[in-house]
Structure 1
Amino acid sequence: MDEAFETRFDRLILLVGRLNYMWTNTESLLIHLIAGLTGANKDVAVIIFLTLNTTRARIDLVERLAKMEGRPPEIRDPILDHTQRLSRLSSIRNKYNHCIYSFDQESGNPKTILMRIADRKTDIKLGREDTVDDKAMKEIEDVVARLSNANKDIWKLITQLGFPV
């Protein structure tokens, strides 16, 4: 393995690690939203959060709680803005967490191989491959920065609403 190749791989692994850290840290803020919206204490909200084993299920729960009849728009609307923001950011996280990695023999760039089956009308498609070039690395960096901002904004909302911390 040459040095340039190893450097690109190390950069990718570091970025994916940061992406995972920021995602997990930010997704865990849903615990506080669950607690505040249900009137439960934080321990109960943690149990609810951990019982739901997908990000989509957790976001769905928070959105449904926020949309309940009688929920004031000043509580509902900012919560929905943040859950929709998280949903948009989840696609990049999912891409890099639900793949395996290989390397392009010519460029040395890492490649992702999606670990999904795409059902078509008459056939299936396996393992879509995408090159992780400088543009893709920049996209990961951008999502990490956007997650960091979302994290700060959600904490601010939790505090403003007086939800359990």
Structure 2
Amino acid sequence: MTPAGRHPATGGATPAAAPPAPQPAASPATQPAFERFLLLLGRLNYSWTNTESLLIHLIAGLARTDKETAVVLFLTLNTTRARIDLVDRLAKLDRVAPPEREAVLALTRRMLRLAGLRNTLNHCIYAFDAESGDLSTIRMRVADRRKEIRMGERAALDAGTLRDIEVSLSEIAQLNNDIWRHIKAFGYPA
């Protein structure tokens, strides 16, 4: 029997009840749409991270090293772009046969294209119009022009955005399968 005030699993103090998570300042009408968006965004991030981790196997195969070494290389590079650049450069080495090279470069081109939507949705802030209840994204990027800068570009977070995420999820799943096929076809460490 656990003494009063002790957590049953750890025997430590029972944690205080956490305060409720802050809710977005969206109108009740937009709440279900935003909830759906958050679920899709979570799936997008999970799928992307899972697929990006397959670069470890491409690095191992192209660098002709073991998976453990490839993990160190992967984790040392802290951006998707840097990891893809490494894979591309390894694929362009003279020792890589043209069919293998072209297959890898086609995979990394697809990966870069698919990174766009995920990057946009993860590097923005979300706005709720108090009057209309409309949701939008505001890009956290400065765009330099010849004689001006632009920032705070807004885009509607609407049914089209949700469709784009669903299409991206499908394409990422296909890319994931294609990378696994490549890993097996060329005998990279799995």
Equivalent residues of 1:104, 1:110 under 8 A apart? yes
Under a length normalisation based on structure 2, what TM-score does the superposition of the two structures give? 0.83
Query: 2:137 maps to which residue?
Result: 112
Query: 1:84 maps to which residue?
Result: 109
From 31, 35, 40, the equivalent of 2:60 is 35
**Secondary structure of 1:59's aligned partner:** helix
Structure with the larger RCO, 1 or 2 (CA within 8 Å, 6+ apart): 1
Matched, 1:57 2:82: yes
The answer to which structure has the higher helix fraction is 1
From 31, 47, 51, the equivalent of 2:72 is 47
What's the CA shift for 1:18?
0.8
Under a length normalisation based on structure 1, what TM-score does the superposition of the two structures give? 0.95
- Structure 2 gaps of 5+ residues are 1-25
Equivalent residues of 1:34, 1:45 under 8 A apart? yes
**Secondary structure of 1:101's aligned partner:** strand
Name the count of aligned residue pairs.
Answer: 165
Matched, 1:8 2:33: yes
**Secondary structure of 1:130's aligned partner:** strand
From 94, 99, 114, the equivalent of 1:69 is 94
What's the CA shift for 1:104?
3.0
Q: Distance in 2 between matches of 1:4 and 1:157?
A: 46
Query: 2:186 maps to which residue?
Result: 161
- Structure 1 gaps of 5+ residues are none
**Secondary structure of 1:33's aligned partner:** helix
Change over 3 Å in CA distance of 1:116–1:109 after alignment to 2: same
Equivalent residues of 1:118, 1:125 under 8 A apart? yes
